[in-house]
Amino acid sequence: MPLLAIAALAAGTYAFRLAGPVFRHRLRISGRVQHLLSVAAAVLLTALVATAALTQGHGFAGWARPAKACGSARSSRPGRP
Amino acid sequence: MRSFWRTIGRDTLRDIALVCLADAIVGASFGAVTVSGGLHPWVPVAMSVLVFAGGAQFAAAGVVLAGGGAAAAVVAGLVLNARLLPYGFAVADVVEGRWWTRLPGAHLITDESVAFALRQHGWERRRASFWACGLALFLCWNAAVVAGALMHDTAAFGLDAVFPAVLLALVLPALADRGTRNAALLGAVVAVVATPFLPAGLPVLLALAGLVLAGRPALTMPGTGPAPEVR
């Protein structure tokens, strides 16, 4: 992971964070957009879970990994406020 | 300083401590998994300090460790972090102030700090909870990532299963909503089917096609809290 990639991810993330405090009197985020952003996050994470658990390189990785992942996810689920 | 702690209240402080502990475990596993996956120790540490968003860090590092390009990793991380945009509007009033409080305050916007702020009544309490949670989390998260990166021998724990396990734990609460679940399932199928044919990193982005099933937002009153439960 090159430093430039980390910097780009960090800069973009910070821009998302700072937009609200800076533009809150001039902009409003519609409920529809807010919903799509949150669903997009869930879609991406689920796809990562599926590809990381089921594939290895360009092929199927077998069932041992997803089984192990489900087991440890159940026992290590982080707490939430 | 004393009144700051009193404003927050003992219950909230205890909850913040618990969240910090849970996130420290996730952070330590992030440091350990990325370093034993072959990345240099400064990579997870720099990411944690500069990006400070667990889900995106795992996603970006996961794309890279799976052999994907840096650009795909950055796009995946940014798509995940786009949800911070509405968060920023939700807590804008407690971050506001002089530029030297606004700039670091914005960096502390996370699922957790926003959830703690929105749970409180009254500007004083909202602000105190946001800053307490944000600062505590920033310290715990980064300390844990450093610790994890230093003792990175995770082979014993079944390294290949750690990534999907953490991501699954992060996303599960969000899948309670039916529209989200349908979109996520379609996206996962698309990504897995596309994996043999596309360069690593792209199938996951293609999963966003699942958004056609996203449905309408559930009826929630504005300001009642962030809808997503993904970190």
Tell me the per-residue pLDDT of A13-57, one tens digit each, with 9 for 90 and over.
Answer: 999 999 999 988 888 878 888 788 888 888 988 998 898 888 766
Q: Best residue in B168, B193, B216, B221 to probe A by mutation, most A CBs within 10 Å?
A: B168
- Digit-coded pLDDT (tens) for B14-38: 989 988 998 898 899 899 889 988 8
Q: What is the phi-psi region of residue A41: left when phi exceeds 0, alpha when psi lies from -120 to 50, beta otherwise?
A: alpha
How sure is the predictor about B223, in pLDDT bands with cuts at 50, 70 and 90?
A: very low
Q: Widest CA span of chain B, in angstroms?
A: 60
ipTM of the predicted assembly exceeds 0.95: no
Say yes or no to pLDDT of B225 above 50.
no
pLDDT at B221: 41
**For residues B183-206, average pLDDT:** 89
Nearest CA in chain B to A64: B161
A13–B95 C-beta distance less than 8 A? no
**B201 and B128 co-located in one domain:** no
Tell me the chain B residues in contact with residue A77 when contact means C-beta distances shorter than 8 Å.
Answer: 169, 172
**B184 and B152 co-located in one domain:** no
B155 vs B163: CA distance, rounded Å? 13
Report which DSSP code applies to B218.
P
**B48 and B132 co-located in one domain:** yes
Q: What is the 3-state secondary structure (H, E, C) of B134-159?
A: HHHHHHHHHHHHHHHHHCCCCHHHCH
A3 vs B97: CA distance, rounded Å? 32
More confident site: B182 or A34: B182
**B187 and B152 co-located in one domain:** no
- Digit-coded pLDDT (tens) for B132-164: 999 999 999 999 999 999 886 655 555 556 667
Domain count, chain B: 2
| Closest to B128 (Cα-Cα) out of B23, B120, B223 | B120
Please name the member of A7, A52, A78 whose beta carbon is closest to the beta carbon of B163: A52
| B98 close to A (CB below 8 A) | no
- Specify if A45 maps to a domain: yes
**B154 and B181 co-located in one domain:** no
Q: Give the count of Cβ contacts less than 8 A between chain A and B.
A: 291
**B150 and B181 co-located in one domain:** no
B211–A38 C-beta distance less than 8 A? no
**B185 and B135 co-located in one domain:** no
**B10 and B91 co-located in one domain:** yes
- Specify if A10 maps to a domain: yes
Residue B110's domain comprises 2-159
B61–A17 C-beta distance less than 8 A? no
Neighbours of B224 (CB within 10 A): 9
**B87 and B191 co-located in one domain:** no
Residues 6+ apart with CB under 8 A from B38: B65
B105 vs A20: CA distance, rounded Å? 11
- Specify if B216 maps to a domain: yes
**For residues B99-125, average pLDDT:** 90
Q: Best residue in B30, B107, B131, B204 to probe A by mutation, most A CBs within 10 Å?
A: B204
Nearest CA in chain A to B96: A21
- Specify if A81 maps to a domain: no
- Specify if B111 maps to a domain: yes
Domain count, chain A: 1
Nearest CA in chain A to B229: A38
- Measured in angstroms, the CA of B157 and the nearest CA of chain A are apart by 10
**B129 and B20 co-located in one domain:** yes
Q: What is the mean pLDDT of chain B?
A: 85
The proportion of chain A whose per-residue pLDDT surpasses 90, expressed as a percent, equals: 23
DSSP B44-82: HHHHHHHT--HHHHHHHHHHHHTT--HHHHHHHHHHHHT
- Specify if B230 maps to a domain: no
A44–B80 C-beta distance less than 8 A? yes
Report which DSSP code applies to B213.
G
B22–A79 C-beta distance less than 8 A? yes
- Specify if B231 maps to a domain: no
**B153 and B194 co-located in one domain:** no
**B182 and B137 co-located in one domain:** no
- Specify if B137 maps to a domain: yes
| B172 close to A (CB below 8 A) | yes
- Specify if B228 maps to a domain: no
Residue whose token pair is 């699942």: B210
B67 vs B143: CA distance, rounded Å? 28
Q: Best residue in A48, A56, A70, A76 to probe B by mutation, most B CBs within 10 Å?
A: A48
- Specify if A80 maps to a domain: no
A66–B86 C-beta distance less than 8 A? no
Residue A17's domain comprises 3-75
